[in-house]
Structure 1
Amino acid sequence: MPDFPAPFSAEVDAISTEIGQLLLARGETLATAESCTGGLIAAAITEIAGSSAWFERGYITYANHAKTDMLDVPPAFIDGLGAVSEPVVAAMAQGAATNANARWAVAVSGIAGPTGGSVEKPVGTVWLAWATPTGIVTEKQVFAGNRSQIRAATVYRALERLATFLREAA
């Protein structure tokens, strides 16, 4: 099982700092929409001094109705496929970007455990989505470990991939 850096580690701080520098250079902003991480992505970002210049806001939408109320996720997506699904996380990312008037957004929805998994969606299943200026990118991961490790892996992957998209768009 790979060991992912904790949300408040030097590695995550370095990625968050780079994200901020890239966004600042372009005059763009970021929003987050989080379910299974409960705000850890936003917390890792705001650990960086000066992040208010490029981090617009974070939505913690742990409950399904919060995803609908705050991010405009269609209830049919949740009812039909569950909160941990590609259409839901894509709609979360789009809703965060649109409602925050941010150029970029990252969204996550997953099963951090230790309960809540199924054969189709075992504990560790996480859907991630990034709203970029050219569209929505989604990705499914199945992380191993306990609840803290799954959440740490999700934070790291969300920020690592966002940094990659920002570098490629530069």
Structure 2
Amino acid sequence: MRDPGYLLSEQLGEGLRGSNRVLGLAESCTGGGISAAITDVPGSSAWFDRGFVTYSNAAKVELLGVHPQTLQRYGAVSAETAGEMAAGVLAHSSADLALAVTGIAGPDGGTAEKPVGTVFVAWRQRGGEQAVCVRKQFSGDRQNIRQQTVLFCLQQLLQLVRAG
């Protein structure tokens, strides 16, 4: 039996191929986990352009064009940063659909306002006015939080693709 990430990625690929769209990603807390799940699917190069692993603030600025002021004012783990990351994917790729994720996988780094397990996921379609962002709160250890985040992101992408 294949793992859920593979099955979701396979379905996502079918949907993207069927709608003639290409996906791009920006990952922070997942460290490339979404890209790995997607590229496990044979033929994913037909519908997946690239993934940016922008773990540091400097990488977010240099590779995606996140504004340093956004990071300073809202932090790396914020809706604002996730939205700018998604916009950066579209600006630096041929993707039609972008998803970005940033969060606190732990075990350290959490605060009262943003505890460990806080994750922001943003997506944006080429030609769309702005990114849509959701805040999620996952639980468990670092591995569990990252795994839950990967699966959530794949589920969100699949819903978006199916919705047209």
| TM-score, length of structure 1 as denominator length | 0.92
Amino acid corresponding to residue 102 of structure 2 in structure 1: S
Is the 8 Å Cα contact of residues 89 and 128 (structure 1) preserved in structure 2? yes
Aligned residues between the structures: 161
Task: Say which SS state the counterpart of residue 131 (structure 1) adopts.
Answer: strand
Aligned to 1:5: none
- Bigger drift between 113-122 and 92-101 goes to 92-101
Q: 5+ residue gaps in structure 1? A: 1-8
The aligned amino acid for 1:110 is: G
Q: Which residue identity does 2:23 align to in structure 1?
A: L
Q: 3-state DSSP class of the match of 1:155?
A: helix
Aligned residue number for residue 16 of structure 1: 9
Q: What is the CA distance between 1:136 and its match in structure 2?
A: 1.6
Alignment partner of 1:26 is 2:19:
yes
Cα deviation, 1:48-88, whole Å, max 9, x if unaligned, reads 00001110000000000100100011110000010000010
Please tell me whether residue 128 in structure 1 is matched to residue 128 in structure 2: no
Superposition deviation, residue 98 in structure 1: 2.0
Moved over 4 A (4+): none
Give the whole-Å Cα distance in 2 for the aligned partners of 1:67 and 1:40.
17
Unaligned runs of 5+ in 2: none
Is 1:13–1:48's contact at 8 Å kept on the other side of the alignment? yes
CA RMSD of aligned residues (A): 1.0
The one-letter code matched in structure 2 to 1:140 is: R
* Aligned-residue identity in percent: 43
Distance 2:10 2:90 in 1: 20
